[in-house]
Structure 1
């Protein structure tokens, strides 16, 4: 771990203090016991990737640096490119160990009791499954991982740590019926739609806790209560962002998949700054994403276009409609808009922003979701009977 064993203990103490500070109170004694029994570093691979450039940091090459990343209250990337060699040097994160403060925040929100049966979706390193198995009977925890290599590594780490949850390699969207029904279902990857199997495999009154994202914004947690009739309902919480479930990924690029040479867009202008809807305000982005459905966006700074300093691209995930909003770098009161396809995407964004603004600019914590037996998802504001409008 490190040349001086005391470095590890000091790092763990520092991390525990950081987690308690983030949560605003000491973690529950049962979780603190699990924290000390299952050191985070024991579940990390010998190589992790850090920073925006995903630079390698190895345990052998930089033991102190590796230990520092292991015990920072921050996420650390534990796999890139789904375990394959990067093509042309391009690296992207495909698995990570979540920041410990969000790990324990979610465990608190899950409200686990010793007698519960728990399903975890997204084993990853195995640390969260280990914490759960330390809290309840190991045989009452089932954890499922889609990546065979990650599942095997996690199973070995868990065995070495002395906890034995059931580790399944498979599609987390399908859950694991043989281990159910479950009192609690926790996902450690985000979803754009809650899989029906999770609801079907949860006991009446049981909880489902999952990170949520729309194509517009990856942000928030959704905690649902299952009613036993195929329906689940609950609220969003404004915490964190997670990697999307692999089966729900979309791999789209504007110039490769969306915009074509024969497209002739319509031109207009807007007074709504693109930064207002896709800038630094997560509340605005969250509300807009709930309304837009399958619309994603990306910034293009300094495009090779005369008179354009910054361009905001919008597109549907089926690549049938797109829009671009241009800023020339001098005037803030007018922006040029280009729209193509059956949906007028910037018009939809404008309507969504105006609704959010008229509603009092609510944050994610005022929103909720109801999932019906037919699988439909209905977003609401404050109460389940106050529906959020859908633009598409």
Structure 2
């Protein structure tokens, strides 16, 4: 499908605004910012719209096809703006996207959850194109918004776009994990990258009863949701429910490569492993892409674990689990022709036993959705819970 043909299926900017309001992604309070601050003013001439259904990106260049470029800019579609931490060259997509402009429906849903008020001071973690900063600045004033961006080139481009548009937000080139103490305290912190742990520095830079809104997940898999945490009056803790599933690029300081299989499962390890069976079905473990509720919950319940699903071949699929605190591992071999699956486990932990216990606990509680789970952050670390901080998800084990 050509870009021009795809363009015909897309909303105009006015239609997009109406759709965001009708779906409840955007509140009326944010409509003036949407109208006044177009995403197109913050996008590069060469960009790569990302198709959520096919997981493919294709280049669109404003200089060669301005109509298609504008249509994508006004669409509810994520747009990749940098590949491979800036080392990528050329027009074709790179290996891994490292900066983007999020879907407007996600942007305004998160701004709705942030619940800013007049006079609020906001710290944004992850400047990206600068569009999110500009929306905040239009509503609160540029002097009340500061943004931190880890990539120097991205920070410079965002800073220039904001100045060019007339909303000179302070853009700091630095590690957002540290926050930005020079402008603290903040009433709100919003992150536009995925976190696996929330830094104490953010709590230290917040006002009492302030709100931290961040995509959060675990290393178990890619499933993450926005955690909306309200800071306690003493500033020592923050707690709140998850609001919606999202998919963001991970904070660079919290990236983690896949475990080396051979370091966990050397030659002969399968023969020496403990062997058992399970009746848990394959569906919840067959994919390690996108948001999967069971994966999100298992990640909340089981610490220091990652999993990887092999491709299915001849009606058989192996799913591997690796411990991140030691060299424990497990493998479940699902087969289409059998109701029971064989389980192999080795190491100090029995990883599949932990995973199955968490899964059965979730089933036993009628498969609660992400919106019933929450997170508490304090001096002791992070704790996930179901319905109430008094009901920790760790009890699943």
| Alignment-derived partner of residue 45 in structure 1 | 44
- Residues 133-148 of structure 1: pairs in structure 2 closer than 5 A: 133-148=137-152
Matched, 1:202 2:221: no
Secondary structure at 2:275 match in 1: strand
Output the aligned Cα RMSD: 2.6
Counterpart pick for 1:314 among 295, 318, 321: 321
Could you state the TM-score of these two structures normalised by the residue count of structure 2? 0.88
Range with bigger deviation, 31-40 or 42-51: 42-51
Q: What is aligned with 2:85?
A: 82
Residue in 2 aligned with 1:35? 34
Quick one: distance in 2 between partners of 1:61 and 1:390? 58
What does residue range 232-381 of structure 1 map to in structure 2 within 5 Å?
Answer: 232-255=238-261, 258-261=264-267, 263-264=269-270, 265-277=273-285, 282-302=292-312, 309-318=316-325, 320-331=327-338, 333-374=339-380, 376-381=381-386
Q: Deviations over 1:239-296 (max 9, x none)?
A: 3221111111101155466443353433322111132355598332221110012212
Q: In the TM superposition, what is the alpha-carbon distance from 1:104 to its structure 2 partner?
A: 0.8
Aligned mates of 2:262, 2:44 — CA distance in 1: 34
Paired with 2:218 and 2:294, the residues of 1 have a C-alpha distance of 13
Separation in structure 2 between the aligned mates of residue 330 and residue 348 of structure 1, nearest angstrom? 26
What's the CA shift for 1:90?
6.0
Q: Which stretches of structure 1, 4 residues or more, deviate above 6 A after TM superposition?
A: none
Residue equivalent to 2:19: 18
Point out the more displaced range, 166-175 or 271-280.
271-280
The answer to whether the Cα contact below 8 Å between 2:127 and 2:149 also exists between their aligned partners in 1 is yes
Higher alpha-carbon deviation: 51-60 or 215-224: 51-60
Alpha carbons 1:23, 1:101 under 8 Å: kept: no
Residues 183, 298 of structure 1: CA spacing in aligned structure 2 closer, same or farther, 3 A cutoff?
Answer: same
User: Aligned partners of 2:342 and 2:15: how far apart in 1?
Assistant: 50
Distance 1:40 1:171, change over 3 A: same
Contact 1:250 1:317 in 2 (8 A): no
Post-superposition CA distance 1:321-372 (Å, at most 9, x none): 22222123322x1112222322211111100011111122111111111112
> Relative to 1, partners in 2 of residues 1:19 and 1:343: Cα closer, same or farther, differing over 3 Å?
same
C-alpha contact 1:54 1:91 (8 A) present in aligned 2: no
Aligned residue-pair number: 378
Q: Is the 8 A contact 1:293 1:390 kept in 2?
A: no
Q: How does 1:118-137 map to 2 (within 5 A)?
A: 118-137=122-141
Alignment of 1:223-238 (within 5 A): 223-227=228-232, 228-238=234-244
- Structure-to-structure mapping, 1:165-184, within 5 angstroms: 165-184=169-188
Query: What TM-score do you get using the length of structure 1 for normalisation?
Result: 0.89
Aligned-partner Cα distance in 2 for 1:261–1:389: 34
- Change beyond 3 A, Cα 1:117–1:256: farther
Question: Which shows bigger deviation, 308-317 or 99-108?
Answer: 308-317
**Structure 1 pair 189–37 and aligned structure 2 pair: CA distance change class (3 A):** same
* Mapped contact 1:229–1:373 kept (Cα < 8 A): no
Work out whether residues 285 and 319 of structure 2, in 8 Å CA contact, stay in contact via their aligned partners in 1.
Answer: no
Q: Aligned with 2:393: secondary structure?
A: coil
Deviation at 1:212, TM superposition (A): 0.9
* Aligned positions of 1:149-168 closer than 5 A: 149-168=153-172
Determine helix, strand or coil for the equivalent of 2:12.
helix
1:154-182 Cα shifts (integer Å, max 9, x gaps) = 00000111101110000000000011100
Name the SS of the counterpart of 2:64 in structure 1. coil
Would the aligned equivalents of 2:203 and 2:235 in 1 still touch at CA under 8 Å? no
Q: After the TM superposition, which of the residue ranges 251-260 and 96-105 deviates more from structure 2? A: 251-260
2:59 aligned to which of 36, 56, 78: 56
Tell me the alpha carbon deviations over residues 56-77 of structure 1, each in whole angstroms, 9 at most, x when there is no partner: 2222233333223222212121
Name the residue aligned to 1:386.
Answer: 391
* Conserved? CA contact 2:124–2:192, under 8 Å: yes
